[in-house]
């Protein structure tokens, strides 16, 4: 009987694929995040631990982190393909573009949720003030979304004329990405009220850090998604990308060290208080253990000494990527919890007029939702879109 | 009748008479007070203040009227006759007179119907020195209404600007709540409205009105910037917005001094048009003991402190 056999045939047609764990994990994270999102939707920003004196926190830190991942990886990839002429790397182009797009959407989602009036986000397009770095950030991010979307469409479903357009879009994405990353740093760099932020070096540090994290992303994508893992080309490419990632990481360490040493040497409390909070405050471990040890030293050791072992290289890249969020969180939070005017937090007392900030469960729950959303998109994209390099797909089939 | 008892009877009789007469006098006085119209009562009060004021050293010297409030009110009326672009509102806070009563803070909360967690004019308490040489001082911190406000250019949607009288104003309906202005203000003078109410969670029960009825006042509109902002839900501004002191713009345009000025029991807060050379604030900001907060940032605050 056709009615009886058809459903079972459909069930038999579903086969698990290796990357399906991504959307499964995404679904779990969405479930964990539903509570936070419901809180956000029903009570606004009140349930967060944000206050008037610490108006930005976990979500802004994650936003900048995701911008670093997205723009850093895409800029480096585009530069390697179109400027350095590395044709081999183009084999993983669809997955690199798709990863960038998913991360970009996650970043925009987080910053949307951080608004007191998210329903008015369109005001930035209708009533823009171009003296504000946030205006530039939104406009550039939207431009980047359009460029990236077009690149992905042409890469996945283009014809023989697409390559020319892809080159144009790729070259356009370089200045757009550079501007976006510099503007993201300038959002903090132009604030004279916060001495540790207020530095022309900060946008440059954002750029170097974006390239360092972006190189990690590209390395991980190369390790995981390279089409033919038994070929000599795979080993070559992993070693090549590992070298780039390691040197980028070292450049980031150098830039951060210069800022730290010059700041500590001049010793002005307005600057050093926030920096000392990062280095020796209650969350010192986020900097020294998570970032320096697990995010820099261990990956550097792996990348320099075990570049011929892709599995370890992948672990090193993943460690570096995952722990880099502590950098953006340490840029955003310690500066804000350092008082601008002593005694203000005790002048009029309320939980929303305090300098104590530690992200609460609700904030983490919303982060889980956004990452779940990203995981779902990514996992389903890997399953249904032709983003995987061909031999990987053939192998999985 | 023994002498002692006779004396007690006479004393009782005198006390009764005294109480009777006093009661009648007090009753008549009360009746007179109640019978007076509010205008008469106000006139009598002002006459009394005038009489008191005429005996102060300043009044004797002919330099000030009875109460600086009267002088500032007259100056405010004078300033309002001018085109708005020719006014320069300035606040002067005499730290030597501030006693830290926080009346200005509370007056501001009441005037602008500020919800929990929003404050425009906190009073910072500072303690200095070591025992036995210890001093306390109180520093009210309204918005500085900077000449070069760092909070203005960072707004991505033009929701905040310096108006032609120098007050940094907000458009609540345009603000998207990104809170960039909060991070950019060097004085932490902006606060975010997270949507709290004082009566949230008030229980319902016998003899208890409950949240629904208790928060009627909180849901009613405030009148900042001369507009009505009913507090209906999370999307109704100013919930979700950045908020700040605006020198009670809605009051001064009606010829009424800011709430923090009229409430200051020590007359430590002065307000007026600095472009008027005859004004009290113009006199005060020319003093050598005047200072402004964080001058090194070049924000040019319009709030001056006398120290």
Average pLDDT over residues A132-145: 97
Asked whether residue A1 carries a pLDDT value surpassing 70, the answer given is: no
Predicted local distance difference test score (pLDDT) of residue A6? 52
- Is the Cβ pair A129, B183 closer than 8 Å? no
SS3 category, B137: strand
Nearest to B179 among A55, A191, A343 (CB): A55
SS3 category, B275: coil
Q: Beta strands B190-192 and B242-244: pairing type?
A: antiparallel
Rounded distance between C-alpha atoms, residue A150 and residue A152, angstroms: 5
State in Å, rounded, how far the first CA of chain B is from the last one.
74
Predicted local distance difference test score (pLDDT) of residue B49? 66
| Strands (E) located in A289-341 | none
List all residues 6 or more positions away from A94 whose beta carbon is below 8 Å from its beta carbon: A152, A155, A156, A386, A387, A388, A389
Q: How far is A341 from chain B, CA to nearest CA, in Å?
A: 7
A128 vs B contacts (CB less than 8 Å): 156-158
Whether A123 and B176 have beta carbons less than 8 Å apart is answered as yes
B117 vs A contacts (CB less than 8 Å): 51-52, 350-353
pLDDT, one tens digit per residue, over A294-312 is 999 999 999 999 999 999 9
- Is the Cβ pair B188, A55 closer than 8 Å? no
Residue of B nearest to A131 (CA): B153
Asked whether residue A207 carries a pLDDT value surpassing 50, the answer given is: yes
Average pLDDT over residues A118-144: 97
- Is the Cβ pair A353, B117 closer than 8 Å? yes
Q: Among A14-23, A220-229, B153-162, B260-269, name the one with the lowest average pLDDT.
A: A14-23
A45 vs B contacts (CB less than 8 Å): 177, 192, 194-195, 240
Q: How far is B257 from chain A, CA to nearest CA, in Å?
A: 23
Structure ipTM over 0.90, yes or no: yes
Cα A342 to chain center, whole Å? 35
Average pLDDT of chain B?
Answer: 86
Nearest to A56 among B117, B183, B193 (CB): B183
Asked whether residue A125 carries a pLDDT value surpassing 60, the answer given is: yes
Predicted local distance difference test score (pLDDT) of residue B61? 45
B293 vs A contacts (CB less than 8 Å): 341
**Inter-CA distances, B229 with A114, A332, B114, B161, B237, Å:** 23, 33, 12, 19, 7
Predicted local distance difference test score (pLDDT) of residue A50? 97
What domains lie within chain B, and their CATH numbers? 3-63 (no CATH), 68-306 (3.30.70.20)
Whether A203 and A195 have beta carbons less than 8 Å apart is answered as no
**Inter-CA distances, A211 with A92, A204, B212, B246, Å:** 18, 11, 54, 44
Average pLDDT over residues B71-95: 95
Asked whether residue A395 carries a pLDDT value surpassing 50, the answer given is: no
Asked whether residue B3 carries a pLDDT value surpassing 80, the answer given is: no
- Is the Cβ pair A344, B122 closer than 8 Å? yes
Would you say how long chain A is, in residues? Answer: 397
Q: What are phi and psi of A357, to 5 degrees?
A: -135, 120
A63 vs B contacts (CB less than 8 Å): none
Probe site for chain A from B98, B154, B232 (most A CB atoms < 10 A): B154
Q: How far is B196 from chain A, CA to nearest CA, in Å?
A: 7
Nearest to B186 among A44, A135, A340 (CB): A340
Predicted local distance difference test score (pLDDT) of residue A57? 97
Asked whether residue B64 carries a pLDDT value surpassing 90, the answer given is: no
SS3 category, B7: helix
Average pLDDT over residues B102-116: 96
| Strands (E) located in chain B | 89-94, 123-130, 133-140, 160-162, 168-170, 190-192, 242-244, 269-273, 290-291, 303-306
Buried b (16+ CB within 10 A) or exposed e, B145-162: bbeebbbbbbbbbbbbbb
- Is the Cβ pair A191, B183 closer than 8 Å? yes
Probe site for chain A from B240, B294, B298 (most A CB atoms < 10 A): B240
- Is the Cβ pair A132, B125 closer than 8 Å? no
Q: What are phi and psi of A276, to 5 degrees?
A: -65, -30
Top pLDDT among B22 and B1 is at B22
Predicted local distance difference test score (pLDDT) of residue B207? 72
- Is the Cβ pair B141, A55 closer than 8 Å? no
Q: pLDDT class for A17, splitting at 50, 70, 90?
A: confident
Predicted local distance difference test score (pLDDT) of residue A49? 97
Predicted local distance difference test score (pLDDT) of residue A317? 96
Probe site for chain A from B121, B179, B200, B241 (most A CB atoms < 10 A): B179
Average pLDDT over residues B159-171: 95
Probe site for chain B from A121, A193, A334, A354 (most B CB atoms < 10 A): A193
Task: Report the percentage of chain A scoring pLDDT > 70.
Answer: 95
Average pLDDT over residues B49-63: 54
Predicted local distance difference test score (pLDDT) of residue B60? 46
Asked whether residue A268 carries a pLDDT value surpassing 80, the answer given is: yes
Whether B268 and B97 have beta carbons less than 8 Å apart is answered as yes
Cα A199 to chain center, whole Å? 23
Whether B287 and B92 have beta carbons less than 8 Å apart is answered as no
- Is the Cβ pair A116, B192 closer than 8 Å? yes
Whether A30 and A369 have beta carbons less than 8 Å apart is answered as yes
Asked whether residue A122 carries a pLDDT value surpassing 90, the answer given is: yes
SS3 category, B191: strand
Q: How far is B146 from chain A, CA to nearest CA, in Å?
A: 13
Which two three-digit tokens encode residue B73?
Answer: 């009110």
Task: Report the percentage of chain A scoring pLDDT > 90.
Answer: 87
- Return the top range by mean pLDDT from A227-236, B17-26, B168-177: B168-177
Asked whether residue A169 carries a pLDDT value surpassing 80, the answer given is: yes
Nearest to B153 among A51, A114, A131 (CB): A131
Q: Beta strands B133-140 and B89-94: pairing type?
A: unpaired
Which two three-digit tokens encode residue A177?
Answer: 């990405």
Would you say how long chain B is, in residues? Answer: 307
A332 vs B contacts (CB less than 8 Å): none
Structural Rg of chain A based on CA atoms: 22
pLDDT, one tens digit per residue, over B241-269 is 999 999 999 999 999 999 999 999 999 99
Predicted local distance difference test score (pLDDT) of residue B81? 96
Whether B144 and A366 have beta carbons less than 8 Å apart is answered as no
Average pLDDT over residues A337-357: 94
Q: How far is B107 from chain A, CA to nearest CA, in Å?
A: 14
Rounded distance between C-alpha atoms, residue A122 and residue A112, angstroms: 11
Asked whether residue A258 carries a pLDDT value surpassing 80, the answer given is: yes
Give, in degrees to the nearest 5, the angle at Cα A393 between A390 and A394: 85
Nearest to A348 among B122, B157, B192 (CB): B122
Rounded distance between C-alpha atoms, residue B269 and residue A183, angstroms: 41
Residue of B nearest to A347 (CA): B124
Q: How far is B123 from chain A, CA to nearest CA, in Å?
A: 6
- Left if phi > 0, otherwise alpha if psi is -120 to 50, otherwise beta: which for A132? beta
Q: How far is A198 from chain B, CA to nearest CA, in Å?
A: 10
Q: Among A13-22, A205-214, B91-100, name the one with the lowest average pLDDT.
A: A13-22
Whether A101 and A144 have beta carbons less than 8 Å apart is answered as no
| Local structure of residue A115 (DSSP, 8 states) | S
Predicted local distance difference test score (pLDDT) of residue A301? 96
- Is the Cβ pair B195, A46 closer than 8 Å? yes
- Is the Cβ pair B174, A43 closer than 8 Å? no
> Which residues, in sequence order, are bridge partners of residue B269?
B93
Rounded distance between C-alpha atoms, residue A179 and residue A198, angstroms: 18
Q: Among A7-11, A98-102, A331-335, name the one with the lowest average pLDDT.
A: A7-11
Asked whether residue B57 carries a pLDDT value surpassing 50, the answer given is: no
A117 vs B contacts (CB less than 8 Å): 175-177, 235, 237, 240-241
Asked whether residue A121 carries a pLDDT value surpassing 90, the answer given is: yes
B239 vs A contacts (CB less than 8 Å): 44, 116
Give, in degrees to the nearest 5, the angle at Cα B28 between B24 and B33: 150
Look at residues A139, A100, A321, A109 and name the one whose alpha carbon lies nearest to residue A213: A321
A275-281 long-range CB contacts below 8 Å, 24 or more apart? A275/A196, A275/A334, A277/A334, A277/A337, A277/A338, A278/A330, A278/A334, A281/A334
């Amino acid at each position: 009987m056709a009615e009886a056999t058809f459903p079972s045939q459909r069930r038999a047609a579903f086969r698990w694929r290796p990357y399906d764990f991504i959307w499964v994990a995404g679904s779990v994270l969405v479930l964990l995040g539903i509570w936070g999102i419901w809180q956000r939707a029903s009570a606004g920003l009140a349930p967060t631990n944000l206050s008037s004196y610490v108006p930005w926190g976990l979500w802004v830190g994650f936003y900048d982190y995701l911008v670093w991942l997205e723009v850093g990886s895409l800029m480096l990839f585009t530069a390697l393909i179109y400027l350095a002429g590395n044709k081999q790397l183009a084999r993983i182009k669809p997955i690199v573009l798709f990863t960038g797009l998913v991360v970009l959407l996650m970043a925009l989602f987080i910053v949307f949720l951080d608004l007191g009036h998210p329903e008015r986000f369109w005001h930035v397009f209708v009533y823009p003030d171009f003296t504000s770095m946030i205006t530039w950030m939104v406009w550039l991010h939207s431009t980047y979304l359009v460029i990236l979307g077009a690149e992905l469409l042409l890469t996945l479903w283009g014809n023989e004329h697409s390559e020319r357009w892809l080159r144009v879009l790729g070259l356009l994405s370089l200045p757009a990405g550079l501007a976006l990353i510099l503007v993201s740093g300038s959002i903090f760099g132009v604030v004279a009220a916060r001495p540790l932020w207020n530095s022309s070096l900060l946008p440059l540090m954002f750029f170097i850090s974006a390239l360092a994290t972006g190189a990690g992303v590209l390395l991980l994508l190369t390790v995981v998604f390279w089409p033919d893992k038994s070929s000599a080309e795979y080993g070559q490419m992993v070693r090549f990308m590992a070298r780039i990632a390691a040197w980028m990481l070292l450049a980031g360490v150098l830039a951060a060290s210069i800022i730290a040493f010059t700041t500590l040497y001049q010793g002005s409390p307005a600057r050093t208080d926030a920096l000392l909070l990062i280095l020796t405050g209650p969350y010192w471990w986020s900097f020294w253990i998570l970032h320096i040890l697990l995010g820099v030293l261990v990956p550097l050791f792996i990348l320099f000494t075990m570049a011929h072992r892709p599995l370890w290289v992948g672990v090193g890249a993943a460690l570096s990527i995952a722990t880099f969020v502590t950098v953006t969180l340490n840029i955003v939070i310690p500066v804000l919890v350092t008082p601008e005017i002593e005694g203000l937090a005790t002048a009029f007392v309320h939980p929303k007029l305090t300098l104590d900030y530690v992200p609460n469960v609700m904030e983490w729950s919303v982060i889980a939702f956004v990452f779940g959303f990203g995981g779902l998109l990514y996992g389903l994209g890997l399953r249904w879109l032709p983003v995987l390099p061909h031999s990987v797909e053939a192998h999985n089939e | 009748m023994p002498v002692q008892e006779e004396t007690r009877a006479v004393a009782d009789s005198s006390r009764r008479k005294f109480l009777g007469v006093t009661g009648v006098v007090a009753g008549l006085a009360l009746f007179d007070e109640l019978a007076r119209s509010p205008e008469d009562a106000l006139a009598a009060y002002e006459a009394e203040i005038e009489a008191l004021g005429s005996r102060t050293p300043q009044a004797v010297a002919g330099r000030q009227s009875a109460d600086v409030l009267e002088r500032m009110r007259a100056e405010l009326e004078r300033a309002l006759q001018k085109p708005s672009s020719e006014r320069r509102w300035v606040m002067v806070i005499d730290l030597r007179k501030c006693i830290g009563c926080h009346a200005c803070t509370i007056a501001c909360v009441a005037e602008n119907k500020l919800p929990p967690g929003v404050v425009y004019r906190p009073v910072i308490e500072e303690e200095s020195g070591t025992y036995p040489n210890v001093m306390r001082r109180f520093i009210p911190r309204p918005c500085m209404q900077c000449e070069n406000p760092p909070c203005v250019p960072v707004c991505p949607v033009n929701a905040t600007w310096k108006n032609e009288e120098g007050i940094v104003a907000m458009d609540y309906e345009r603000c998207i709540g990104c809170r960039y202005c909060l991070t950019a203000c060097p004085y932490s003078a902006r606060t975010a409205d997270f949507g709290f109410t004082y009566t949230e969670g008030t229980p319902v029960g016998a003899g208890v009105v409950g949240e629904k009825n208790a928060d009627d006042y909180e849901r009613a509109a405030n009148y900042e910037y001369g507009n009505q902002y009913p507090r209906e839900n999370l999307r109704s501004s100013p919930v979700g917005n950045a908020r700040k002191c605006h020198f009670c713009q809605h009051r001064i345009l009606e010829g009424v001094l800011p709430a923090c000025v009229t409430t200051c029991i020590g007359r430590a807060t002065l307000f007026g048009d600095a472009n008027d050379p005859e004004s009290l604030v113009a006199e005060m900001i020319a003093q050598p003991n005047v200072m402004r907060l964080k001058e090194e940032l070049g924000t040019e605050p319009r709030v001056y402190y006398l120290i």
